[in-house]
């Protein structure tokens, strides 16, 4: 049973790499948003021309990024959403909402200090995890039925 997994959210630490390398050998296919922060912010104006107003600068970029993220979410069986310790991360919660409405299996990766603020998001998830290793253990078990240790 191959699984398609979208890794959504925080882009400043190496959690995606940890999951992908930890899951090596399993029949899993990973997708991600563009994680180059500058490219992601500026893709709209870089391709389609500058905007005087930052609001439309952002809009043009966010719309192009949506081509990728919507495809990735639509194709995914499992969405892992990582909330880091900084920033607003509303795009992560937005992805989680899309995933929930589409009936995707949702795994949240979050530090305990966010538990209360994320309770509505967590209530739609099938697992709330603390580390990339826990995510890998879940994916391995779902794929193979084998537990760690």
Cβ closest to a second copy, residue 25 vs residue 123: 123
For residue 87, give both structure tokens. Answer: 């920033």
CB of 104 to a second copy, least distance (A): 9
Query: What is the DSSP code (8-state) at residue 114?
Result: G
CB of 123 to a second copy, least distance (A): 4
Pairing of strands 105-109, 127-129: parallel
Q: Which residues pair with 7 in a beta bridge?
A: 80
Cβ closest to a second copy, residue 25 vs residue 149: 149
User: Are the C-beta atoms of residues 104 and 79 closer than 8 Å to each other?
Assistant: yes
CB of 67 to a second copy, least distance (A): 4
Residue-wise burial string across 97-130, b where 16 or more C-beta atoms lie within 10 A, e elsewhere = ebbbeeebbbbbbbeeebeeebeebbeebebbbe
Cβ closest to a second copy, residue 18 vs residue 114: 114
CB of 18 to a second copy, least distance (A): 16
How many CB atoms sit inside 10 A of residue 134's CB?
A: 16
Cβ closest to a second copy, residue 13 vs residue 50: 50
């Amino acid at each position: 049973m191959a699984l398609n997994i979208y890794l959504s959210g925080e882009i400043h630490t190496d959690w995606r790499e940890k999951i992908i390398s930890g899951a090596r050998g399993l029949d899993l296919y990973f997708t991600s948003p563009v994680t180059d922060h500058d490219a992601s912010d500026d893709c709209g104006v870089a391709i389609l021309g500058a905007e005087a107003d930052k609001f439309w600068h952002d809009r043009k970029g966010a719309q192009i990024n949506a081509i990728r993220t919507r495809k990735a979410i639509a194709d995914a069986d499992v969405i892992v959403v990582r909330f880091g310790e900084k920033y607003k991360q509303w795009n992560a919660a937005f992805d989680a909402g899309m995933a929930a409405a589409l009936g995707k299996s949702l795994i949240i990766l979050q530090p305990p200090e966010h538990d209360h603020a994320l309770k509505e998001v967590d209530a739609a998830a099938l697992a709330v995890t603390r580390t990339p290793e826990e995510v890998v253990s879940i994916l391995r078990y779902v794929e193979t039925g084998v537990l760690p240790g």
